[in-house]
Structure formats: C-alpha cells, structure tokens
Amino acid sequence: MKRIALSAATLTLAVLAGTASAMTLMPIKLKCPIGGESFTATLAMSGTQFGQNLDRRPVGAIAAPWPMAKCPTNGFVLFKEKFTAAEIKTLQPFVLSPEYQALQKTESNYFLISRLMEKLGASSSDIASALLRATWEVEKTPRYQRYASAALDAFEAALAGNSKMSSEERASYEQIAGELERRLGRFDAARTRLMALAAMPSVQGTPLEQVVQQELVLIAQRDVETHLAKVDDEKNSSGKH
C-alpha cells in the first residue's frame, strides 16, 4: 500500500480553474490470493482533488479513501497489487481465523488493512496511514472514536520510534496527531501539541502553520467536527519556506 502523503507540502490547496471534476470507476476482475476465489470489484481509476480536510482527507470528485478490493468469501482486503508467497503464508492463517472472520463482518476495509499490515510487521508509519484512512471511512459513525484513538496511538508510536524521520515529516505527523486529539475532544493535549508545533521556526510562515492556527481556534471553541483546511497561498508566498 502506498503511504499517504503527509508532508507539509501537501497543504498547498490550490484550486485548478477549468479542470474537469471527474471520478472514474471501473469493474476489475480479480482473483483472491487466499483461497483462489474469482470476483469482480468496482475500483476507482482517477479523481480530482480540490482541497483537503484538516485530517488530510482529500475533498473533491475523488474517492477518499481510495477503495480497496475485498474478497467476498473470506474478507481478505487486497491492499497490495501483488503478495509474495511468504506474505500469503503469514497472512492466510490469520485471514481464515475466527478472529479475522469476525472483524471482517464489522470493521472497515482500511481498519482490516491495518491489522493485516501488523501481521506482516509493517512500520508504525504505514499502520498509522491505514488507520487514518480508516477514520475517513467511518467519520459519521460510532466507530470513529475507536478508529481515531487507534490512529493517534500509531502516529505517537511512529513519532517515538523513528529517529531518522525528517523534520518536515515529524511536523506533519504532529499536526495530524493534534488534529486527532481535537476530534477526540482531548483539547488540552491538542492545544499543547499544536502550540509547540506553531512555535517551531521551520513551521512558521508555511501552510502548515496556517492549518495549526485554524485548529487552535477550533480548540478554543471546543469544536470536534471535521473542517476543510484553509490555506492562503498568497500569504504563504511571502512567508518562510
């Protein structure tokens, strides 16, 4: 699975005037790597993004998150184009277990992906990416709190466990963690994290700072709803880079 773009650079939300807004869906014939079942899944081929929410969910004529095929019988989610024999050997017992079979009946595709990735020993960053997408799938449901809490834990683990993370990526992860804290109603923790982020010289004058300031206003209002990220490109062009 391709990791979600989490860099501060992705916060430049220019609207492309005259760009056709279209999302293309297409039925694709697939074969389940576990069990060999043949099936057809309707997948997204293209889309147009005009902005994004504070939690990085793309906004526009686009599927967000990008749909993943799921084997109809055993519920295995095809989160990669190809799986090695060793990966299938690792995943098959879990996919066929009563635990996974119960999960696949109630949980979203990207939540299932996070569990499958854990079995393959994926990094905290990749698991955090999957769980963030899972929150987009269940944004208006009771599962959101549980998924957001799991995503926050994964981002915390990624921040604590990756000493080689670039300063830009670290700042981006901190913003997402702060946004998840806000959405979970953990306002004090979110305020502390985001104020520290806004004070960083590398963040000041960037689109990321504008997003952080927007979030701090929402925290002061004790707002836990989703919001479109508001970035002023002209303001950013005169700031630090």
The per-residue DSSP string of 66-129 comes to PP--B-TTT--B--SS---HHHHHHHHHHHTSHHHHHHHHHS-HHHHHHHHHHHTT--HHHHHH
Strand partners, 26: 43
- Does the residue 72 lie in any domain? no
Residue 234 banded pLDDT, cuts 50, 70, 90 = low
- Does the residue 183 lie in any domain? yes
Residue 6 banded pLDDT, cuts 50, 70, 90 = very low
Angle, helices 124-137 vs 143-161, to 10°: value is 160
Confidence (pLDDT) at 235: 54
pLDDT tens digits, one per residue of 48-68: 888 999 999 999 888 899 999
What is the helix (H) or strand (E) element at residue 38, kind and residue range? strand 38-46
- Does the residue 170 lie in any domain? yes
Q: Please state, in angstroms and rounded to a whole number, the distance separating the CA atoms of residues 154 and 51.
A: 25
Count the neighbouring beta carbons within 10 Å of the beta carbon of residue 169.
17
pLDDT at 29 over 90: yes
Q: Whole-prediction pTM value?
A: 0.88
Give CA torsion, residues 95, 97, 102, 104, to 10 deg. Answer: 0
Q: 67 and 44 in contact (C-beta within 8 Å)? A: yes
- Does the residue 60 lie in any domain? no
With left for phi above 0 and alpha for psi between -120 and 50, is residue 205 left, alpha or beta?
left
Domain that holds residue 181: 166-225
- Does the residue 112 lie in any domain? no
- Does the residue 218 lie in any domain? yes
pLDDT tens digits, one per residue of 109-162: 999 999 999 999 999 999 999 999 999 999 989 999 999 999 999 999 999 987
Residue 24 banded pLDDT, cuts 50, 70, 90 = confident
